[in-house]
A and B are shown apart, each in its own frame.
Chain A
């Protein structure tokens, strides 16, 4: 597995897609902080620590960012027919699957670290200090620890889609659909059934709690909540296990062209 990850690292660092994605996201962060600084005045007073905690509002973007990291790592292997170069030389399919999952997770963590540190640096430099940066970092850190497991679940979900569907566009659409639409669909279902069949409504509520997006809803008002963190880890790891099992099962018998 170590060799596989080293090889993936070699390939990733040679993709302009990765550097471009980081550059664009970093530029957007710069724009946001410059905007905060420009608007500072009589009406608003965005200090460095407050600016930093704005990151908590941005955590849901992390779900969708895993589509990009998954795509960068999977590298459209079906389109380019490159998987045959791996299976033909005896690399077990499980190792290929877990290699891609681990590589995309490590890439996502590294990208997250870079972008959070860059944002923190921008806030520290461009916004007025208020002596509360350390506390703000603690709060953001706790929020990130809550978000990490569900991001990992999202990463596994997208990777499963990349392995199951031949095209990366279809895979991204399905993954995003599951993340973005499933919650709305369950909400609608709840409204339809809860009055006539309350028991079914309860089941739908439980299902809503099991969605990847659920643990981060309302996080901003309730960051320091250990039970939320436990919930997030349970949901995130559960999705990770389930989607990985489906992805491995699908890839195990897949025809490689």
Chain B
């Protein structure tokens, strides 16, 4: 290791190309990951913020909140299921909002949620009718505490009384009010989707699993198929586009990792060829193949760590510079560290392609002892 480290310190230029390429790959990995996290976060925040175990949709909703309607009698059945401890209604409507200070035709896409069980970051009692909390992404759209936003063609007025973070839905800023506010706005703006008092789109349920059957199965059995119950994770994954976004981005990230492996493999293979004579001498004076290969791995890991560190700094800088509400990019510690870990593993895998070459170096070649 000392030998490998000394080589890196005394001949940094030798590793510069690999470090630069791996740094670009690290930045790409972290940027792609941050974009994926940002896109998913902006689509799923409203569900992830729910302090609930399951979401209950109507049986014919095809796992869509917009299509779902839960009648009061079904809600009563759900409340009676053993293990269910708390039930709250949830409703949503997507509407363009007119924000003070913006042009009359400059509508801000918003989703108004009505709730009973407070999601994370909201007060346990929903605000009074006509009052809402706004997702903090709407600050970039001139929304402030006290702003009155006029929603939809009916220009239903809601007044912002505070902000909540990480509750975006379908890439749009959200507003959070009482179920009564939601019904009023929905019925005024969407005649085709009117709901009666007591009707909600979904139920937010807290509860415990009893026996072998999980909470979702027991709820759906109790309502005789009138409901389709999903865990929060399942509900998040069922949101339009979320699985597809993850799949596409993860494929791109996978290809990027393969490229990282190829870059490291090629670079260290070339370096090993260059070092054949040196390895011959070292083997002749008693260095084992294991010691020599450990040096190669050590150098690959150091290069990957330097690249990752630069990538992390670049990602955090980018995260700080991107104006809110523009590019959906989030640099989370988990994503940055996992990207760094993936890059280090790719570097180790890449340099294993040099192992055979290191093993095949003949110490007798150092003294010219083979024909």
> Are A and B bound to each other?
no
Query: Residues of A with Cβ closer than 8 Å to B?
Result: none
